[in-house]
Amino acid sequence: MTFLYHGAMDLPARVVLATDHAGFALKEAMKVFLIGKGVDVIDVGTFSEKPVDYPPVIRKGCAAVLEQKCPGIVFGGSGNGEAMVANKMPGIRCALVYSKETAELARQHNNANVMSLGGRFTDPNAAKQFVEVFLTTDFEGGRHKKRVEDIELK
C-alpha cells in the first residue's frame, strides 16, 4: 500500500486510529499530534478508559484502513494482542513498534500499513517519533517485494 501524502512533512493525508481502554490515553495524545500536523484522523474508538474487548475495535480500525486506503495505528496495553488481531485480516500487515528503528524497518522491509503501540510501555514523546518515522518512510521494494507478497496466505 502506498500512502497518499498531502504535503507537509510528507505525512499521509489520513490515518485511522483504533484502541482498547489500555491504549486510550496514548491514542488521544497521538490524535492531537496528528491533527496538529494537518492529518485527517479517523478515530474508530474506543472513546474512554472504560474496559472494552479489543478485537472488535481493532477489526473495525483495520477495515477502515483498507476502505480508506490509508495507514492505521492501533493501541493497547502492550500492543501485542492488537497486532495479532490486525494481522488476521487479509490485506493488513501490522508491526508492533517500540523504537524508531522498528517503525522504519516495518515500512522499508515489510510494507506495514498498520503499526501497533503499547500504551503501558510507550512514552508519548517517543511515540510521536515512532509515528512520524512510520508514516514518512517508504517501502523499499526490491528484494523485499517478493517476501511481502508471500505473507498473504494463498
Question: What residues are annotated to the active site?
Answer: 82, 109
In the block, cell 510507550 appears at: 122
Pairing of strands 72-76, 40-43: unpaired
The C-alpha atoms of residue 14 and residue 4 are separated, in whole angstroms, by: 8
CB-based contacts of 144: which residues, under 8 Å, 6+ apart? 108, 109, 110, 111
CB-based contacts of 15: which residues, under 8 Å, 6+ apart? 34, 39, 40, 41, 42, 70, 71, 72, 73, 135
The C-alpha atoms of residue 46 and residue 49 are separated, in whole angstroms, by: 8
DSSP code of 5? B
Are the C-beta atoms of 19 and 46 separated by less than 8 Å? yes
